[in-house]
Structure 1
Amino acid sequence: MGILTFLALGGGAVVGVVGAPFVLGAIGFTTAGIAAGSYAAGMMSAAAVANGGAVAAGSTVAVLQAIGAAGLSGAATAAAASAGAGVGGTLLGLAALI
């Protein structure tokens, strides 16, 4: 693995882990709950309609709100790092085509 590949994957992983809480907060998954009128509120409303008025435990909305409220768990940190590394690798690959 070359140094550019290492930097792209490692940098992407770091950005994914550090950036995830900021992105979740920006779309409405906050420490105080789901922000009114946000994208997260729309997701919660759609999930509630689909489930007869409740948001199911373990659903995407529930998991994202848990992360927004408490931060990333070990599994969520690994997922964010993997996603970030994937984006970094993809960008490196696209840059090689230019």
Structure 2
Amino acid sequence: MESAWPARFGLSVCAGLATARGVSTMMGDAMGWMWIWPAMIVFGLLVLGFLALVVTQYRPGGAVTTPHPDRPPARTILDERYARGEIDDEEYRRRKGELP
């Protein structure tokens, strides 16, 4: 049992002595790596923002959808009805004046 004690605790004693003398240990100075956490958070947010941009810009149909994309505007329908002879001149002018 006594022979296992130095093997189990010897490394931590040596590491403590080396740090006390100013020699770097295997882990190094832990405070030197503290910048990595904010950098990882910023990098993660940049990746998520890029993915959100890609998803919203390149989805089928574009970013703005209309309720009836295959339906022509009212003015076009009115012009077509007039061209086919479904409505006369007077009704065409009256309805054209009511359109926005």
Fold match by TM threshold 0.5: no
Greater RCO structure (CA 8 Å; 6+ sep): 1
**Could you tell me the TM-score, scaled by structure 2's length?**
0.25
Higher-Rg structure is 2
